[in-house]
Structure 1
Amino acid sequence: MGQALDPVAVAIDIGGTKLAAALVESDGSVLARRTTPTPVGDGETVWRGLAGVLDELLGLVSGRAVLGAGIASAAPMDLRDGTISPVNIPGWRDFPITARVGDLLPGLPVRLGGDALCMALAEYHHGNGQGSECLLGMVVSTGIGGGFVFGGRPHFGATGNAGHVGHFVVDPAGPLCGCGANGCSEAIASGPSMVRWALEQGWQPLGGTADGVALAAAARAGDPTAEAAFGRSGAAVAQVITVASALCEIDRVVIGGGVAQAWDLLEPAITEPLADYAGLEFIRRVDVCPATLGVDSGLIGAAALLAAERVPSVPVGI
């Protein structure tokens, strides 16, 4: 008889652009993945898109035991009843994602966490977060998200929304944020916010395409407005790190997301003001580094939810 194959976790990553699912081993290896563009429409339309991906993926299990499912989702969410209401998926408001996924995996556990928290958990186990006692994972992209891992355990908060560092107010007189407040870090430091600010200051992208890639290229070429946009974003992220470090004594911050792809520009834009903001020694000790797991980090972290201690779980399919 052949040796039994290791069990796998079904990992799901829910975003406004795409829905992804994968089979993930305990060492973080992604065995197979399937993706589809996030459908536009009502809740059931979006669900059919995800259900189709999951049905295709489950057909690839090939005799392996399945541990359960972990779900990384854009916020907000409510772990108490397993629902999500992603801002970037209008069709899902209080959508019972845990129960619906559980219907496809009867009798197996289903865990839910924020997408940035799952990134942090993945980096803690398999990336630049290894060895950290108190980790903050940040995603700096079309929005700004965050998640805490303390002593190896993900920190959820009462409803699963802890770590929402994109809505730290860093400038009360700053621009209006999508959440309704003024001056959130997301309204200043996210990719679209950087581009919008640069355009308002008169930046004219070469080739006419105004996006983060063009802004980074302009900054590398010495365009002062593009350079200032990265400086402004980095200073806002540094303020977030300072506050999080003062509150929780973070020892490491791992930063991923689209804007972090320009790490050569973002890293000095963060660390230089951070040296001024961090007055106390324990805040100055924080280590800031880039994420290493790329687009798979949400899936790897979602799978890790199944092994994490003290993870809220809504019983389903039993």
Structure 2
Amino acid sequence: MYAALDIGGTKIAGALVDEGGSVVHRAELPTPARESAQRMARTIDAVIDTLSTAPAWGTVRGVGIASAGPVDTAAGTVSPVNIPAWRDFPLVESVRAHPLLLTGLEPVLLGDAVAMAAAEHWLGAARDADNALCMVVSTGVGGGYVLGGRLHPGPSGNAGHIGHISVGIDGPPCACGARGCVEGYASGTAITRYAVQTGWSPGPGSQPSAAAVAASAREGDERALAAYDRSARALAAAIAGSAALLEIEVAVIGGGVAQAGETLFTPLRHHLRAFAVLDFMRDLKVRPAALARDAGLIGAAAAARQQFAEGCGAASPVVHETSA
């Protein structure tokens, strides 16, 4: 078994994942994102405590952590944009210090989108590709690369941060400080904002959201369709740019916005044909993610599994068995 943690602004999930990538035990608590760093750390400890009650806990051979970013995998620290209390927080050290974990095998830290790429390459929509881009399109936009059949997180763990490349030189300002970022066009927040600005509104009793815009688009609302078309065009430009630079074969799209299905994927494939025009790019495929809510956990487990396989830690279990 491999222990996995998936830390986001809404929830902290944990799981035990077996050699085949199946989640066999799960724990989850709300993220106290607006509270202190210590309160956050205690919540993670509580998730680990819950996992430790499973009979399989004594067979755990590695620990993987997927976290919202930015991350610094070299230092083992995280500074998630949506968790204000954590700035350069020593997450690996904090998890390593849990009393139920043995020393000898370093917990593996990944950004959440990189973890999604690891999961989709292991078991999901990119499993037949040696070179792939996997993207999370939700409140924000992130990504991770598989190159030459291996995960490519980069020196700091942030390679694939595709939401913050510019696809519009004179585009709208982004929260990161740049202009025309993919995230400013393609995220769920951006889709909703653009639709509202063009006069769209949700039905009675509904709140504006990307899902509500998608529902209107399926009913033929032209403003909602235009908002998704704009998102798809930005994503297509970014994917084509990745293909030109890295010769990726597959782009996998997950996250909440991808739940719109063909409302997103039909215009995305249309625009991609206009951007990916060089001969070596024309067979580029776009697929929806296959693993949905478990991708972060499975990806974290995949990284821990890889580390154990490469002999980077002790051969003995990394956890104490709980007493009866």
Task: Sort the TM-score into its range (normalised by shorter chain).
Answer: over 0.9
- C-alpha separation between the residues in 1 aligned to 2:87 and 2:80? 7
Aligned residue for 1:79? 73
Cα offset for 1:174?
1.4
- C-alpha separation between the residues in 1 aligned to 2:82 and 2:281? 34
Cα offset for 1:74?
1.1
Following TM superposition, where does structure 1 have runs of at least 4 consecutive aligned residues deviating by more than 2 angstroms? 61-64, 307-311, 313-317
One-letter amino acid matched to 1:216: A
- C-alpha separation between the residues in 2 aligned to 1:314 and 1:146? 28
Aligned residue for 2:322? none
Structure 2 runs not aligned, ≥5 long: 320-324
Aligned residue for 2:123? 126
Q: Percent identity among equivalent residues?
A: 47
Aligned residue for 1:53? 47
- C-alpha separation between the residues in 2 aligned to 1:302 and 1:293? 13
Aligned residue for 1:263? 261
Cα offset for 1:63?
5.9
- Contact 1:9–1:66 under 8 Å retained in 2: yes
2:27 corresponds to 1:31: no
Pair 1:314–1:240, CA change in 2 (3 A): farther
Aligned residue for 2:14? 21
One-letter amino acid matched to 1:78: D
2:228 corresponds to 1:230: yes
Aligned residue for 1:245? 243
CA deviations 1:183-229 (Å, max 9, x no partner) are: 10001100011100111111121124111111011000111000000
Pair 1:269–1:314, CA change in 2 (3 A): farther
- C-alpha separation between the residues in 2 aligned to 1:188 and 1:13? 26
- C-alpha separation between the residues in 2 aligned to 1:291 and 1:35? 22
One-letter amino acid matched to 2:14: A
One-letter amino acid matched to 1:106: L
- Contact 1:98–1:314 under 8 Å retained in 2: no
CA deviations 1:33-82 (Å, max 9, x no partner) are: 11111002121111111111111111214463211210111111111110
Pair 1:21–1:238, CA change in 2 (3 A): same
2:113 corresponds to 1:116: yes
CA deviations 1:265-315 (Å, max 9, x no partner) are: 11112110110111201111111100111100100000000233699x899
- C-alpha separation between the residues in 2 aligned to 1:47 and 1:287? 40
- C-alpha separation between the residues in 2 aligned to 1:235 and 1:162? 22
Pair 1:45–1:314, CA change in 2 (3 A): farther
Cα RMSD of the aligned pairs, angstroms, is 1.9
Aligned residue for 2:142? 145
Structure 1 range deviating more: 45-54 or 238-247: 45-54
CA deviations 1:145-174 (Å, max 9, x no partner) are: 100012332111111110000001011211
- Among 281, 289, 292, the residue aligned to 2:290: 292
- C-alpha separation between the residues in 1 aligned to 2:279 and 2:84? 44
One-letter amino acid matched to 1:17: T
- Contact 2:133–2:144 under 8 Å retained in 1: yes
Q: TM-score, normalised by structure 2?
A: 0.91
Structure 1 runs not aligned, ≥5 long: 1-7
One-letter amino acid matched to 1:117: V
- C-alpha separation between the residues in 2 aligned to 1:314 and 1:212? 44
Aligned residue for 1:106? 102
Aligned length: 309
Aligned residue for 1:3? none
Aligned residue for 1:66? 60
Aligned residue for 2:192? 195
Pair 1:314–1:181, CA change in 2 (3 A): farther
One-letter amino acid matched to 2:139: T
Cα offset for 1:256?
0.4
